[in-house]
A and B are shown apart, each in its own frame.
Chain A
Amino acid sequence: MTDTARPMTSVHLSDSSRGRLRRRYARERNFKIVSVSALVLTAVFLVILLGSVVLNGWSGFLTTKLRLEVTYSAEHVDVDNPANGNFRMIVLDGLRERFPDVTERRALRALLGIVSNQGAWDVRDALLDNPSLAGTSRELWLPAATEVDMLNKGYVDRSAPEELRLIDDRTIAWVDALEQDGDLATVFNWTFLASGDSREPELAGVGGAVLGSFWILLVTFVVSFPTGVGAAVFLEEFAPKRRWVDIIEVNINNLAAVPSIVFGLLGLAVFLNVMHLPRSAPVVGGLTLALMTLPTIIITTRAALKGIPPSIRDAALAVGASEVQVVSHFLLPLAMPRILTGAIIGMARALGESAPLLMVGMVAFVVDLPSGPTDPATALPVQVFLWADSPERGFVEKTSAAIMVLLVFLIAMNGLAVYLRQRFEIRW
């Protein structure tokens, strides 16, 4: 290994060779720079996207409540039938007591407006939980109206002229008075996670959409997974090598790239118009998305089966297993981690899909929580779409908060896919 022994005229050390080498290194360096900047650019966009969603949406998980002493007076509550009282008047009386100088009718209306419509129902529910409250007073935390919520969260510009604000000086004064006495609190918004849609931003929740998405994905999985795996096993293990099998293969690969709205049109034509399944029901959405997920599952299953070494098949056949036994005892269990990974990624795509659901009537206002796959329901991405289109300021934060909920589910599903792959996958 003595360099000095080499003649100086070696072709590897000539000037042109050094130049070539320099150029090669330069190319490598440039390639790295391009790659890294592409990565940085992606990261920047991701940070901007997530940043703006989180920045707009975090306050959607909080809500404003105000403390009010309400009296279940005999005038407004029927002791024998507590459900049937005038609970709005009870709330108004409570507010009157709190702000005794407000007497004019229109001002009282505005005063009642600082409490959400839900307030009266909460007052009723407290009485129904504890009927002995009739005739007594009770301090309750009631949800504030969305304007008050926006003011409390700092989305209202107090310095703007009164007529350019959605909330007038009078109301701001009331809210400030409540805040000074500690009667105003920002608390975690359980309503947002638990309840269905609402026209009032302070009452709207993603609960209905999450449940709807759950039923849709359940139907999608139950339909597309067995069908897809079955189809893939047949095509990979049993199908004869004929022309029509090739045609089917090409078509499946094509289907995987068809825009999702086309599946929506198919769902509309087949499930609604021919089979007369109910509109807006998760079962129809699920079947439609199953059609969309099917090619993904077939393709990943076939790839997984292809990845199993032929020696396994040969060994199983050699000890006398039938072809079906080879598939069900050896190939499918060995391929399952990769199949499940593919299926979960397909389901994650289905979870984020809204265009096909548009066609089967799932872009709907649904308040009641769906209790089964045939109840009317909506889905998370559809809920985002509906709220983004609502005029009220309070829905801006709800839209971003719903996106955050959707992202959490997507990340969880993709994380599960990665986990399954790393934990169970067998490398040959």
Chain B
Amino acid sequence: MKSRTLNVVLAACVVALTAVAAAAQDARDTIRIVGSSTVFPFSTAVAEHFGQSSDFPTPVVESTGSGGGLKLFCAGVGFEHPDVTNASRRIKPSEVERCAENGITEITEVMFGFDGIVLGNSRGARQLSIDIPDLWLALAAEVPDANGNIVANPYTMWSEINHSLPAAAIRVMGPPPTSGTRDAFVELVMEQGCEHFEAVAVIEESDEDRFESICASVREDGAFIEAGENDNLIVQKLEADPDAFGIFGFSFLDQNINKIQGAVMNGVEPTFDNIAFGDYPVSRSLYFYVKNAHLDLVPGIAEFVAEFTSDDAWGPFGYLADKGLIPLPDHDRATMAETANSATPLSL
């Protein structure tokens, strides 16, 4: 009798597995989105609105990071591959090639807004006002000394770099190298900052690789702390430690304005308006990419893009602005919506 039960259980397993294998072959009617964790809050907000206001199922959004998302996106055409990927940086030519190798020749690129990167600290401490070259000196692994030689970063206090800065130990928490925020920080702060120094600039002509490594390498002696991808965690740590600074996206400053203040960069405060008008120096564009070959494959992609590019969503008073998105200027929004809704393929 017991053996009969066992047989039934085994039979049930076989049936279950066959059913699963059969279901895997089925077409999919849910839009699949992957990509950047920075774009995740915006993409999910649009997905939710889209699911509520249309008859299509709510798209599934996965947070994989910009690079991870593009890798999945470019893996091929078909139901098992995502339809849309989000990125907090522009697609690279190498990624376009990779896509083309796998038969994805037509991609629609949509730039839908900006995100500022903020150096923030606790409201309990003084607001920092710093220029980008000084910030590079504080965070680079190697810096030029008084004689123009490149040496390991000797600075331990902000005031050693510039007398106007506070006499506190340099302690900055930031995202790890896998993060798009880190990529953007290196590009917008580190690489901008190092060019101001004669001693570094001369290396560019003689040894470009060395130049890039000096510019982009973040110090590893404890002054820069990799705090993980979780921006909330950085915010909590800043609250507990008034001397520490953190690097994170503007939306986290916006949501925690009662606890955290953003440092003034090159004399500009990180506010909504300053980022929108392009005055704040450390801001980047946010993108999503649509696989044109999937437009006829999975229902609702065109309608999803239309929802994303409606003024109700990405406009200055849209619901994405409530989530901390800095909208594009009116004119750019109109042209970008045109590109997006006509599915004009990207050409680099």
Contact = CB atoms under 8 A, between A and B. Distances in A.
A8 interface: no
B12 interface: yes
A391 B259 CA distance: 13
Given A390-B41, A391-B256, A328 B317 contact: no
Given A121-B52, A222-B16, A164 B123 contact: yes
A333 interface: yes
B62 A280 contact: yes
B62 A364 contact: yes
B336 to A, nearest CB: 23
A160 interface: yes
Interface stretch (A26-34, A36-44, A368-376): A368-376
A328 B3 contact: yes
Interface string A213-226: 00000010011011
B251 A391 contact: yes
Contact of A329 (B2, B13, B44): B2
B47 A390 contact: no
A170 to B, nearest CB: 17
Interface string B56-94: 011011110000000000000001101000000000000
Given A199-B323, A280-B62, A367 B3 contact: no
B255 A391 contact: yes
Interface centre among B41, B44, B256 (most CB of A within 10 A): B44
B195 interface: no
B230 A389 contact: yes
Interface stretch (A271-279, A299-307, A308-316, A410-418): A271-279
B20 interface: yes
Interface string A191-222: 00000011110000000000000000001001
Nearest to B253: A391
B109 interface: no
Given A333-B2, A368-B51, A391-B231, A222 B324 contact: no
Nearest to A163: B257
Contact of B24 (A197, A276, A363, A364): A276
B258 A198 contact: no
B239 interface: no
Chain A's interface size range is 35 or more
A361 interface: yes
A316 B34 CA distance: 59
A74 interface: no
Given A160-B258, A365-B44, A226 B13 contact: yes
Contacts of B9: 225-226
B24 A392 contact: no
A222 B12 contact: yes
B2 A279 contact: no
B167 interface: no
A279 B80 contact: yes
Contacts of B319: 117
A280 B60 contact: yes
A364 B257 CA distance: 28
Contacts of A389: 37, 229-232
B61 A277 contact: no
Contacts of A388: 230, 232
Nearest to B324: A391
Interface string B215-239: 0000000000000011110000000
A368 B51 CA distance: 9
B102 to A, nearest CB: 14
Contacts of B258: 157, 160, 164-166
Contacts of A79: none
Contacts of A333: 2
Contacts of A62: none
A278 B32 CA distance: 11
Nearest to B322: A113
Contact of A199 (B45, B230, B231): B45
A121 B319 CA distance: 17
Interface string A64-101: 00000000000000000000000000000000000000
B158 interface: no
B28 interface: yes
A373 B28 CA distance: 14
A364 B35 CA distance: 11
A366 B323 contact: no
A368 B58 contact: yes
Contacts of B231: 389, 391
Nearest to A196: B58
A81 to B, nearest CB: 14
A332 interface: yes
B61 A364 contact: yes
A243 interface: no
A406 interface: no
Contact of A374 (B24, B58, B123, B254): B24
B263 to A, nearest CB: 17
Interface of B: 2-3, 6, 9-10, 12-13, 16-17, 20-21, 23-24, 26, 28, 30, 32, 34, 37, 40-41, 43-45, 47-48, 51-52, 57-58, 60-63, 79-80, 82, 123, 229-232, 251-252, 254-258, 317, 319, 323-324
Given A278-B28, A279-B80, A393-B255, 4 more contacts: A117-B52, A222-B13, A376-B30, A391-B251
Interface of A: 109, 117, 121, 157, 160, 163-166, 197-200, 219, 222-223, 225-226, 272, 275-280, 283, 324, 328-329, 332-333, 361, 363-368, 372-374, 376, 386, 388-393
Chain A to chain B: the 10 pairs with minimum beta-carbon distance, closest first: A367-B58, A365-B61, A391-B255, A374-B23, A328-B3, A365-B44, A364-B62, A376-B60, A199-B45, A164-B258
14 contacts: A109-B317, A160-B258, A164-B123, A219-B16, A279-B80, A280-B60, A332-B2, A364-B60, A365-B44, A367-B48, A368-B30, A389-B229, A391-B252, A391-B254
